[in-house]
Structure 1
Amino acid sequence: MAKAKRPIVRIDEEKCTGCGLCVSPCAEGAIEIRDGKARVIKEELCDGAGFCIGTCPEGALTVEEREAEEFSEEAVHKHTQSNPRNYIPQKCFRCGRNEDELPIMPCRSAGESLWVCTRCLPALIHG
């Protein structure tokens, strides 16, 4: 597969504790826990969107711009069809609603990686 300079997730193995919180937010299935650490299993599966970043309590994930295999929707489709994901439902830290009730998104508050629903987000932003 061809390489191109593009955004891609980087995982700092020194900081990673292997908690697995970054696995579920990756819709493409690019992150798995292997040998007790989170790893991008194939560069072509990572779209570089970074939805996983806010979930890491250790700050081990970043998005960097570097030479990497090009993102492939076809590879993602094949991977997700043959590897059903472990689903860890997330809840809003303010109201407790889960992502089946309302859309939720990762956020950082007071140094913690949390999830917030779209109903609670305005109060979090505006106080």
Structure 2
Amino acid sequence: MAVRQIVKIDDELCDGCGACVTPCAEGAITMVDGKAKVVNEALCDGAGFCLPVCPTGALSIETREAPVFDEEQAEALMHERGQVYITQRCFRCEIGEDEAPLVPVRHQGQSLWVCTRCLPALIHG
């Protein structure tokens, strides 16, 4: 167990649309009895790609004690499902997520990734 960021789903706000399931590449979110549920906290990386697709705002990120993210299990499940993980890269300098922290941004109508070194130039011009 570790204190880390993890997705929280409000059952009362969840309308069961399932839009959050697909962005969760690790498979932590599944539909159970017509509602989205984090079925395996060790598969939730806390990145939050599921949050912006929720039409009711039922998803949020909370910092709390949870099982450590199991990257090996997540990759094994992705492999079983035939998914291929594509390393994200900064749209300005092309550095990969394994080399520098990346943050998601909206720029000129596109959803992109930018590294923390390029972010100030993007903000300040």
TM range (shorter): 0.5 to 0.7
SS in 2 for 1:59: coil
- CA change 1:120–1:74 in 2 (3 A) is same
- CA change 1:84–1:42 in 2 (3 A) is farther
Unaligned runs of 5+ in 1: 86-105, 108-115, 123-127
Root-mean-square deviation over aligned CA pairs: 2.4
> Equivalences for 1:29-40 in 2 at 5 Å?
29-40=27-38
1:120 to 104, 109, 113: 109
Aligned residues: 91
State the TM-score, normalizing by the size of structure 1: 0.64
Q: 2 CA distance for matches of 1:46 and 1:65?
A: 12
For residues 48-86 of structure 1, the C-alpha deviation after alignment (integer angstroms, 9 at most, x for no partner) is: 01010000010000000000000011110222233467x
- CA change 1:83–1:121 in 2 (3 A) is closer
Amino acid at match of 1:72: D
SS in 2 for 1:14: coil
* 1:47 Cα offset (Å): 0.3
SS in 1 for 2:8: strand
Q: Following TM superposition, where does structure 1 have runs of at least 4 consecutive aligned residues deviating by more than 4 angstroms?
A: none
2:46 is aligned with 1:48: yes
Q: 1 CA distance for matches of 2:54 and 2:72?
A: 28
State the TM-score, normalizing by the size of structure 2: 0.64
* 1:41 Cα offset (Å): 1.2
Q: 2 CA distance for matches of 1:121 and 1:79?
A: 29
